[in-house]
Structure formats: structure tokens, C-alpha cells
Structure 1
Amino acid sequence: MKKLIVAAVMCLGTAAFAQNATGTPEHPSKDAPSAHQMNGPSTGVEAQEVGPAISDTAKKVVGADTSKDKADAANKTGLWTQKDAFSLNGTVKAKDNDDVTLARTGTLPEVKLDVREQTKVTLDGKTVKASELPEGASVRAKFQLEGDDSVALELKATSPKK
């Protein structure tokens, strides 16, 4: 009998806490906020606009520059962060001025790396263009992900042994 009473109390207690304070649209609860409270007076500023505005203002206050021009200038001068780069080893399978495809050992898939102006490409310690890398050259690559693209930061190649 005690178990039955405890079960009934648990069910009724849970149901009491689960009730919605706003009621239904046809029969709103007397405790529900009014349409005026829900819509309220407008400030003319959308909530999604507040966060970025606060962030930009905060950066200006602490002296951080948020201009995209300086970020673009940093990218054009080759200032990429090496600490966030991934590494891989492979051999040159295909190449041109815009990308290099590296074959890897075992069952690892080939990797296509985008080559940009900022990419440092060397062959036996000498600076070269990506299109000058010989097929079969051994390469140690550092790259970063940009969306779905793998962008080469650095390609260090050694000539294939003949």
C-alpha cells in the first residue's frame, strides 16, 4: 500500500511541475506574460547586432586593431601562424603553380595542397616554384585548413635519388 501511495504522489507531483505557466494559446494562464510584455517597447537594435558591436568596441578600448585591411596585409606578406600548422610527408605525384599532389606511404590517401604566393617552396635548400618540383621528390609539408582546402605553408623537398 505504501508503494502505491508513493507512486501516486510521484506521478501527481511530476505532473504539477510539468505544467506550462503560459497555458495554451486558446486559454492563456493568468500568470502568462501579456503580449505587451512579450513584445515590449523596441530599442531599434536587434539582439544579434549587439554582440559584434560590443566585441569591436572592446577591441578598440584595449588597443586591438579590427581592421580587415591589416589582416589582408598580413596575409599578403606571408604572415601565417606556423604553430597551428599540420605536418605530413610524401612524394610529389603531380604539380602545377596552384597545387601539389603528394602520394603517401601505405594505405594513406593522396593529399592535394593549394600553393599560394605566401607558400615557401624549397628544393634541396634552394627556393623554387611549386611547378619546378620533380615528380618523385620527397616532401615534408606544413599546411593549414581553410574551409575544405588544405593550404600549404611550407614545402621542403629533396630531389629523388637516381
Structure 2
Amino acid sequence: MKKIIVAAVMCLGTAAFAQSTTGTPQNPAPSAPSNSQMNGPSTGVEAQEVGPAISDTAKKVVGKDTSKDKADAANKSGVWKEKDAFSLNGTVKAKDDDDITLARTGTLPEVQLDVREQTKVTLDGKTVKASELPEGASVRAKFQLEGDDSIALELKATSPKK
């Protein structure tokens, strides 16, 4: 008799645990959260639109273009503090005056770094512009993150071996 009771309890207990409280995506349970609860309330404004809107509003209120002061703001915010910089090694894949793309070894992804006026760029120990770096040159880069951008602080390149 004890064995029958134990078997009945095991079957009923297993059946209770097998039921899903949220149902399936095609047939959700009444207690499952709705799409609006899952995604949260909508304000109708995308997050990436907020920064430019604030900047445009600031220009209207102040009456001048604040983007000219980016270098000063970057210095004050700590972007140009080399002690906090990240570093990486790669080879020049593409470049121009504003940015440089470095290919890295193995399965590591390419990196695009923004080059600014304050960026120190050297090739074989001589100061040059980023656009003068030859493709295939080996580069040791120091960079900082500023929002979604990677800002090059220093690019030390050596000419590719021929």
C-alpha cells in the first residue's frame, strides 16, 4: 500500500512540475507578461536621438557652436589622460586624416580609431600625419573611449618590411 501511495505522489508531483506557467509563444498563459510589459513603456524617442537633440538645443540657447570646444572638453573629461588609455597592436589597413583602420592578428576584429589634432603619430620615430602611414605598417596604438568612438591618443608605427 505504501508503494502505491508513493508512486501516486511521484506521478502527480512530476506532472505538476511539467506544466509551464507562461505557456508557449503561440499560446501564452493568462498570467504571462504582455508585449508592452516586456518591452516597457515607449516615449517615442530613440536613445541615440537624445544626444544630438541636446546639442542642438544648447547651440540655440547659448547662441554659439559648442563643437569647437570639443578638444577642451575632451581634455577636461579625461579622454587625453594616457595613464588610463587602452592599447592594441595591428597593421594599417586603411587611413585618412580623420581615422585609421587597424587589422589585428588571428580572429580579432579590425579596429577603427578616430584621429584628432592632439593624436601623436610617429613613423619610425619621426612625427607624421596619420594619412602618411603606409598600408601594412605595424602600429602600437593607445586609445580612449568617448561614447561609441575610439579616440587614438598615440600611434607608433614602424614601416613594413620589404
* Equivalent-residue separation in structure 1 for 2:74 and 2:135 (angstroms): 32
Aligned to 2:131: 131
Deviation, structure 1 residue 72: 1.7
* Equivalent-residue separation in structure 1 for 2:99 and 2:74 (angstroms): 22
Question: What's the TM-score, normalizing by structure 1?
Answer: 0.53
1:104 maps to amino acid:
R
Deviations 1:69-122, CA, capped at 9 Å, x for gaps? 8x828839xx82111100000000000000000000000000000000000000
Aligned to 1:160: 160
Is residue 2:92 matched to residue 1:86?
Answer: no
Aligned to 2:147: 147
* Equivalent-residue separation in structure 2 for 1:75 and 1:97 (angstroms): 21
Secondary structure in structure 2 of the residue aligned to 1:87:
strand
Q: Is the 2:80–2:144 Cα contact (8 Å) retained in structure 1?
A: no
Question: What's the TM-score, normalizing by structure 2?
Answer: 0.53
What is the RMSD of the two structures over their aligned residues, measured on CA atoms? 2.3
* Equivalent-residue separation in structure 2 for 1:142 and 1:87 (angstroms): 4
Moved over 6 A (4+): none
2:144 maps to amino acid:
Q
1:119 maps to amino acid:
T
Task: Show structure 2 runs of 5+ residues with no match.
Answer: 1-68
Aligned to 2:101: 101
* Equivalent-residue separation in structure 1 for 2:105 and 2:73 (angstroms): 38
Secondary structure in structure 1 of the residue aligned to 2:118:
coil
* Equivalent-residue separation in structure 2 for 1:123 and 1:75 (angstroms): 25
Task: Show structure 1 runs of 5+ residues with no match.
Answer: 1-68
